[in-house]
Structure 1
């Protein structure tokens, strides 16, 4: 490719709405242009990187045995009504009507469509296992699209869907896809972790997220540096920090705590460790018939409730935060002084694993300006109705695998794999005939990679003050040849053309900047765009039979003999790409 025949739309300034580095640099490097909130044109420079991401994904999907197809972006509402997600998905699902007043959606994902394909096409156990995938545009109507391609409304995604005859088969397929995803992100040159995750609105029984490590990531990742344990903070296990419950040593005492509604303030007032206080959180579960169920969640004062864990508990899938009116009616006081002793109405008490083993702790007295100290299970209040892991882990907690302590970092989710089970096949009657001729629901998995999101994540992990630093595998070009005075010096032009031609012949993705720009402009453009390798050719160097090479991460340039330049650059590129 020659620059004069390509479109290079670099900008000196980023738009005011670009909040994070990847958004700023993708706009400035001429990779994207905003059309509407969360919707972008992918310009030629950006599209080249997208196509390279797609190529890697396709190669690894096919290596894992997945078969490519293409499903429609516009989906009939009937499928979503069958699965139950029409009512549950929420406002992110863009709904529309056609001219015949029939309901459709713009697909944010394709579980329903692929299940319809399977129930029509797969009849026998002999046709499984099978795994279909596509690379296609999705749409999710985010309430606040932001961060460029990181949280847009329209985006490109690779989604795959597997069908097995039983759970054992699903586990084999799931592992293949897990391994394929690891290969994809390794080939892209990204630093990532695969972490245990919550299945969210997709449903199912098991999931892993692939998180690119970056300080600007929206997700918190919990991991153990001395073992393989890793999880999204929503799914990370929080073992009890107290092995056994101690004996009571304090008398139960109602203690004035005027104006001290937070555990931190109560601990400071009473001169006690924060770890001896209990934080009360009230949730409500509405019933189709009868009164709303009020649930009191108890965690240690220095901990936080993990709402995702709570909603995984039996009967709490639709739990919501209780209103102030509900709290006053149940406890007799507004939030701030709530506790399990002396409630106005009966409540279900769920204690965190650590709380269940505490002794001599402090709770709200259900009276404004008062707490109760010296509280003990059994003596002062009944054992909790349920004991469960309902808190978020904190750095320094013991790793659940017993092999060290946990640390927390931030990450950007670029892929996720799910064990769906029979959630969709049962809802949509996707069955096959087993070996005995009996109908059975297909066992499904689904697997997604955010193709356009990968670009933003890669940049968040690879940039400096001058611009992007692309890994070779997904850079728009692997090498740029920068001739000094291409339009003025015949010798420079001839050598640049020769080197360019030999690099092309060697299979290197190279661009020759033949625009005749000044060196400062030329270098600034390519550093901003982030091409990994640069060769500079000028009259001064050619007089000594030298050209200048500099890797995008290098602090200084290196002079190379003209005759060795192509081999040197090609070997660097090939080594980075593992070829």
Structure 2
């Protein structure tokens, strides 16, 4: 490809709203162009990178018996209504066609795959199977930003496994995990597989693939000694502490102007871990209004924070908002001085009357707590569970953080930042049950198909590659995904220099090397800056001085050194490098 014929140009400055390096560089280097918030055009260079990533994914999927398909972007509403996701996935884009027909713009294709199973999977002989496709997806992303990292229209590689039972699924799942590791290693972004929340996908368990990066939006927990790793939304940890051998008596004490945990702990003279924090929410089911919800009282040790994703999962899904002060007082509690003491706490059973109190397991790891007295300006000391108060349910609802102890080995865990680049879901029968996707087993009895779902965002991965591979001058593409292998340019005027460069361009093409030839008439500084910005692995410069010696200058993008290579040997040099 000759740059003089290229569509688009490099830019000296990045857009003012571009904060991340990948956002700035991909626009400046003419790889992508925005046409709206979260909507991008992939320019010719950018599309070549996408195709390289695409091919790597296809190779790894085929290596584990995957079959590539092409699936529709328009999904009939009935498919999503059957699984209950039409009204519960708030980022689902919907369109209405003539005659009132409604469709979902595909965000994912579990429903479509389940529909295919109804028609094409009949017996156990048709299982197991793995299919995948790479196509556009859509998401009504409320915070489209960060360049290619958070999009409304994006490119996904989605795979789906169909198994006769969980045993068959569990035997195959590690192969997919390994294939994902291979993909990320090949493109230059080794990833950590971490346990994760299943979110709107549902199912039993899931793993995220996270590329460690200080600017990443995802937080995950990793053990300093063993291989335990989990997204912060799902991470577990050991609650340290012991119940007192001889519990102290319950005593009401004045604590003026001590609404915050830190203030009351300092006033009473205890650690925050010896206090209990009361937090209040209004909860309601997805797809329904707030009027169908109920008040939720959440209790956690004062040195910990509530993980709202864990809390929502304990509640069986739904939505939360902070409760208003008047709602808190309506149950007999006092904002800033609240506790479960003296309240009409509902017995286990969500539909029972009374105050529903969910407590973190940390209330069992300690005692003689300082808690609110439900009286402004007062707290109790010496509060112990279950002697002094009851709760409706105890569950893991606290957020893991640096310094906590690993649930597997007891060593210290650390919170780290990263970019999520892939996700694997053990769906089980989440989609086959409501759609009736079954097969006949060896006894002729219908059984639900056991499903798995696996996704990687190609554009997000492209941005992540740039985040991991760049310097102050521009992008540094790993060889496997670079749009071209060689950035060829000529310096100096004169037909002899141009002719030599053009001849080399044709020869490199002839032997199968991918070449981007900067045939512009521009200064060395401009051409070198563009080469560094675009980030191709090799820069080959044909100049008058070198030609006089029968050499060309060669520079590797990720190295500072330059070297002279005989012109007669440059083709073999590049092919062997």
Interval containing the TM-score (normalised by the shorter chain): over 0.9
- The answer to whether the aligner puts 1:168 opposite 2:175 as a matched pair is no
- The answer to whether the aligner puts 1:58 opposite 2:64 as a matched pair is no
From the superposition, tell whether residues 518 and 348 of structure 1 become closer, same or farther in structure 2 (CA, over 3 Å).
Answer: same
Contact 1:332–1:344 (Cα < 8 Å) also in 2: no
Per the TM alignment, residue 469 of structure 1 is displaced from its structure 2 partner at its CA by: 1.6
Contact 2:238–2:410 (Cα < 8 Å) also in 1: no
How far, CA to CA, are the matches of 1:532 and 1:370 in structure 2?
A: 68
Contact 1:221–1:230 (Cα < 8 Å) also in 2: yes
How far, CA to CA, are the matches of 2:35 and 2:254 in structure 1?
A: 59
1:392 corresponds to which residue? Answer: 399
Structure 1 segments unaligned to the other structure (5+ residues): 573-579
Per the TM alignment, residue 168 of structure 1 is displaced from its structure 2 partner at its CA by: 1.0
Deviations 1:94-147, CA, capped at 9 Å, x for gaps: 112111211112111111111111111111110111111111111111122111
Per the TM alignment, residue 226 of structure 1 is displaced from its structure 2 partner at its CA by: 2.9
Structure 2 segments unaligned to the other structure (5+ residues): 346-353
How far, CA to CA, are the matches of 2:397 and 2:156 in structure 1?
A: 33
TM-score by length of 1: 0.92
Question: What secondary structure is seen at the aligned counterpart in 1 of 2:431?
Answer: helix
How far, CA to CA, are the matches of 2:31 and 2:194 in structure 1?
A: 30
Structure 2 counterpart of 1:269, from 264, 267, 270: 267
1:454 corresponds to which residue? Answer: 461
Contact 1:115–1:430 (Cα < 8 Å) also in 2: yes
From the superposition, tell whether residues 557 and 445 of structure 1 become closer, same or farther in structure 2 (CA, over 3 Å).
Answer: same
1:534 corresponds to which residue? Answer: 539
Contact 2:163–2:449 (Cα < 8 Å) also in 1: yes
From the superposition, tell whether residues 166 and 300 of structure 1 become closer, same or farther in structure 2 (CA, over 3 Å).
Answer: same
Per the TM alignment, residue 372 of structure 1 is displaced from its structure 2 partner at its CA by: 1.7
Contact 2:363–2:385 (Cα < 8 Å) also in 1: no
Contact 1:467–1:527 (Cα < 8 Å) also in 2: yes
Per the TM alignment, residue 173 of structure 1 is displaced from its structure 2 partner at its CA by: 2.7
From the superposition, tell whether residues 504 and 355 of structure 1 become closer, same or farther in structure 2 (CA, over 3 Å).
Answer: farther
Which range is displaced more, 496-505 or 303-312? 496-505
From the superposition, tell whether residues 239 and 179 of structure 1 become closer, same or farther in structure 2 (CA, over 3 Å).
Answer: same
Question: What secondary structure is seen at the aligned counterpart in 1 of 2:114?
Answer: helix
2:351 corresponds to which residue? Answer: none
How far, CA to CA, are the matches of 1:57 and 1:110 in structure 2?
A: 18
How far, CA to CA, are the matches of 2:329 and 2:92 in structure 1?
A: 36
1:436 corresponds to which residue? Answer: 443
Matches within 5 A, 1:363-402: 363-382=371-390, 384-402=391-409
Question: What secondary structure is seen at the aligned counterpart in 2 of 1:444?
Answer: strand
How far, CA to CA, are the matches of 1:561 and 1:363 in structure 2?
A: 80
Contact 1:489–1:539 (Cα < 8 Å) also in 2: no
How far, CA to CA, are the matches of 1:30 and 1:152 in structure 2?
A: 18
From the superposition, tell whether residues 320 and 489 of structure 1 become closer, same or farther in structure 2 (CA, over 3 Å).
Answer: same
Contact 2:369–2:381 (Cα < 8 Å) also in 1: yes
Which range is displaced more, 138-147 or 263-272? 263-272
1:30 corresponds to which residue? Answer: 30
TM-score by length of 2: 0.92
1:115 corresponds to which residue? Answer: 114
Question: What secondary structure is seen at the aligned counterpart in 2 of 1:459?
Answer: helix
Structure 1 counterpart of 2:559, from 548, 554, 557: 554
Deviations 1:146-174, CA, capped at 9 Å, x for gaps: 11211110111111111111111111232
- The answer to whether the aligner puts 1:520 opposite 2:521 as a matched pair is no
**Aligned pairs, number:** 565
How far, CA to CA, are the matches of 1:535 and 1:246 in structure 2?
A: 74
Per the TM alignment, residue 501 of structure 1 is displaced from its structure 2 partner at its CA by: 4.1
How far, CA to CA, are the matches of 1:528 and 1:331 in structure 2?
A: 64
1:406 corresponds to which residue? Answer: 413
Question: What secondary structure is seen at the aligned counterpart in 2 of 1:180?
Answer: helix
